[in-house]
Amino acid sequence: MNRHAAVFSAILAAALYALNAPLSKILLNDVPPTMMAAFLYLGAGLGMFLLGLVRRASGHPSSEQKLTRQDVPYTAGMIVLDILAPIFLMLGISRTTAANASLLNNFEIVATSLIALFIFRERISRRLWLAIVLIVISSVLLTAEDASSLQFSGGSVFVLLACICWGMENNCTRMLSQSDPQEIVVVKGFGSGAGALLAALLAGEAVPSLRHMLPALALGFVAYGLSIYFYVYAQRWLGAARTSAYYAIAPFIGVLLSLLMFRQWPGALFFIALAVMIAATVLVTKDQSDT
């Protein structure tokens, strides 16, 4: 895979993930948040496992490197963080608008980049630093429900917590990116899905009916499974910080879908935050084109 193919994989991963917020918002009317998080990851794991069976049955087994014992710490960290992140996200989406949640997802760039800098010593340019500052400003604006009263949205805080978890998880996945992406998604899907399902049952959440469970599994396969698969491929060539930068288009696709689906016109504060976030994304994109 060359650099252009890696960039395409990152953008495709972003486009698939963008379906998550608006469609989850609909499904959360009938599926409790933690149970929803569980079935999203179980759908990812199950879908990629079945794809692997089809590939082997057709005589095209994977030649990718398998996970090893040395990968266990990063794999365990990935699974634990992927249990927490979608639970936080579903709690956030259930308490704020889908458009708000979509745009706040760009905070993941901040978390991923800072962890990549301080722990894995990835270089961050001045332009990317400026983009990070703008994303933080935009996130603060989106977290304020009312600019005059400065009341803060609990839903937005949960989305930000999800982004921090995914920022840490992106860097764990980066350490596994030379291994088989399909195996990574299967391990991540079943491990994180089972953990979230146990948490949901312990919290007393009801198991949804089959007609609500199947759409959640399907959404998980597309928005998590296929998205993670292409994301891991991109990380292999671009690194954690750069891949998350290209992934920044996902919130804007999610915002557009949310506005079209729910017809909820946000207030002026949202559009100020949107303008700041667009400026940050342009800086990120230009930074990557210069490297």
| Pairwise CA distance, residues 193 & 188, whole Å | 8
Residue 38 pLDDT greater than 90, yes or no: yes
Token pair of 265 as six digits: 């016109």
Bigger pLDDT: 179 vs 146: 179
pTM of the model: 0.80
Work out the pLDDT band at 1, boundaries 50, 70, 90: low
pLDDT score of 148: 45
Work out the pLDDT band at 81, boundaries 50, 70, 90: very high
Q: Domain map of the chain by residue range? A: 3-55+71-289
Bigger pLDDT: 97 vs 210: 210
Angle made by CA atoms 166, 213, 249, in degrees to the nearest 5: 35
Report, as an integer, the average pLDDT of 238-246.
Answer: 73
| Pairwise CA distance, residues 244 & 116, whole Å | 11
Report, as an integer, the average pLDDT of 260-271.
Answer: 80
Q: Which residues of 174-200 are buried (b: 16+ CB within 10 A; e: fewer)?
A: bbbbebbbbbbbbbbbbbbbbbbbebb
| Pairwise CA distance, residues 109 & 115, whole Å | 10
The amino acid occupying position 262 is F
Report, as an integer, the average pLDDT of 164-181.
Answer: 86
The amino acid occupying position 90 is M
Report, as an integer, the average pLDDT of 13-40.
Answer: 94
E strands in 151-220: 151-152
| Pairwise CA distance, residues 34 & 57, whole Å | 35
Task: Give Cβ neighbours of residue 52 (< 8 Å, ≥ 6 apart).
Answer: 62, 182, 186
| Pairwise CA distance, residues 105 & 170, whole Å | 13
Length of the chain: 291
Report, as an integer, the average pLDDT of 3-22.
Answer: 88
In degrees to the nearest 10, what's the CA dihedral of 286, 241, 159, 173?
Answer: 150
Token pair of 94 as six digits: 């259930």
Report, as an integer, the average pLDDT of 158-171.
Answer: 91
pLDDT score of 152: 58
- Neighbour count for residue 265 (Cβ, 10 Å): 9
Residue 151 pLDDT greater than 70, yes or no: no
pLDDT score of 99: 82
R_g of the chain computed on alpha carbons: 18
The amino acid occupying position 112 is T
Write the CA distances from 122 to 14, 102, 240, integer angstroms: 22, 26, 8
